[in-house]
Structure 1
Amino acid sequence: MKQLTLNRSIHFKVPTGILGAAVTPDGGTLAAACMDGVYLADFEAQSAERIGTHASYASSAAFLTSQNAVVSAGYDGAIQWFDLETREQRRQVGLHKFWSWDMSVSPDEQMIASVTGQYLAGGYKYEPQAETEPSVRIIAADSGEVLHSLEHVPSVQAVAFSSTGEYVAAGNLMGEVRVWNTRTGELAARWTTPDFTSWGIIKSHCYLGGIFALRFTPDDRQLLLAGMGPMRDPMAGNGRQLWQKWAWQQDEPAKVDETHEGESGEGLMETLAIHPGGEFFAMGGRLRGGDWNVALFNLTTGERRAILKTGYRVTEALFTSDGTRMILVGTQGQPRKPEDGVFPDFGRIEVYELG
């Protein structure tokens, strides 16, 4: 199979690490959720402007083109709306008592889903304590009104809508995935994969890992999951770079495929993106060992098509709507001391041309 090529055409920095991002339909502007706030970045000018802040890190960002707005979520548990013209905040809704780990906007821009939860030991086996607030919330994108409050087991770290917006899926620390009907709030599917979760035999006697990203395939029949394979010492971060694909609409959800043998290194995978053409997907994250931390895979066969070693932690991979470019964002360490009185920029933005 012919390999894909990735040629970097744009690279610039923002002051702090980027934890989540989105791109406009025309591919010209990036919304970046950063440790020090929400930025709009212009690819042509290779510059960025901060338009707002959260009380803690901003963790996710998305465009609401129908409202000419950017919506963001943060570790303060709040969702904020910013006007793209005035750069002013329109609305803020306190959605969670704990962090918003991840946020997703439905394809029709009518709904926003956010997930939360703190892992606390619920017993002597360190199983997670039951949630103290709804782990998944769906709100109306135009008002912030809560439409559904849904139960899960904390911490819930990833959320995604189906291509039609009919379903929303969320994955947690323990590898449990739940899928709900967004119209009724009824549970449509539920299963657990043990392959993303580690029990610390060495140093850390607790659970670590889980599902850090998920995406519905274009036909909505399957779900892609991403994270890291289990380790004896979770603090080492040397689990297998792992994706899995599940057929979730069956009576018993079944694993269809996963990272092929010999095609992975070590490191936590934090992001998934499916190419608009539906032929392949990107997975990216951290590199602990091996020769890549971003790779492209054939969506049908699972074969690896291209690899990148970026030199920094990738927190979000995106494709432009025309499918010609892949955008990567993330963070390259965190400076411990200023240089000439100023901390160096450590948020990274890159654009790659696909060939």
Structure 2
Amino acid sequence: MADTKVSTEASVVRPGGDPGGREGRPSVPAVRRHGGRRATAGSGRMAALLVSPTLLVLTVVVLYPTIMALRESLYGPKGLDPDTGFISSTEPFVGLQNYADVFGAAGERFWNAFWNTTFFTVVTVGLETVIGVSMALIMHKAFRGRALIRAGILIPWAVPTAVSGLLWRWIFNSDGIANTLIGHQILWTTEGFHARVAVIIAEVWKTAPFVGLLVLAGLQVIGQEVYEAARLDGAGSSRQFWHITLPLVKPALLVAVLFRCLDALRMFDLPYVLIGAQKTSVETLSMLAQNEASNVRFGPAAAYSVLLFLYVLLIALGFVRLLGADLVGDAGAGRGRRRRMVVSRRREVTT
């Protein structure tokens, strides 16, 4: 009687009168399957509820201004109405004329700002990457006074950009510290290549610690046993850096470079405070858009802002594809492992 009861409870009669299915295996009760579906749907609703405030904020502060900028870029500045001869009280609709002017004679200033923005981004991010990695390696070493060194390295990043611009404007003054050290009188805060050098030095000084901080976080997760094994195999410091440190810290480094590229492409406050507005050698796209808006030319200013937005978006998409390749691969590997675990558990149940 006891054996018969156990065997009866262990088997589930499926539709068609086949106990245990075609191979006599116990089937999963339908209640359990429906319960799993309800749990998944409930967790999905909870996730949507938790994310909805963030989506609402992004809609208000990102999506709506972007749509309004696109709309404003289709209108021209106020001027004389050719029909009445009076100043028009509304902005005329010009369609894509503001974008077409970029590729005409009126676009010379735009392309100058575009190349300045690209130049600052490439040079500053490159220098910040090298200096930031060096800072991270120094902060990662175990020595006396390491906490003081870390605090000193991170101080420039904590200084507000406007304050940093005023500080470096004082340093690059005609009778400032920079000219005193080099022994020459250079007008750093005027037009010319030296103005670009001043912006680059000030920007790298301020934001290189940010790269170092993110790289330091990546260095913290590398186990010391990896370096010990490399030393036992005869690898020197340089080989350990190129074959162990740099590959393992690559994800954190790429994220740091991504953030710095997006920030450098929107550079405005540092050259504006340090050098000034309407300086051809250092004018960026953000400075150009602000100058057009301050002159009540909202249509061209919006068009420049939209083009800058598209430029930043393309760079961001490129980095996301670069970073997302490993993430997709890890997710696929994780799904494969989970699928194999489920199959093995099913086999254990059936045997």
TM range (shorter): under 0.3
Q: Higher helix proportion, which one?
A: 2
Q: Higher strand proportion, which one?
A: 1
TM-score normalised by length of structure 1: 0.18
| Larger RCO, structure (CA 8 Å, separation 6 or more) | 2
Query: Which has more radius of gyration?
Result: 2
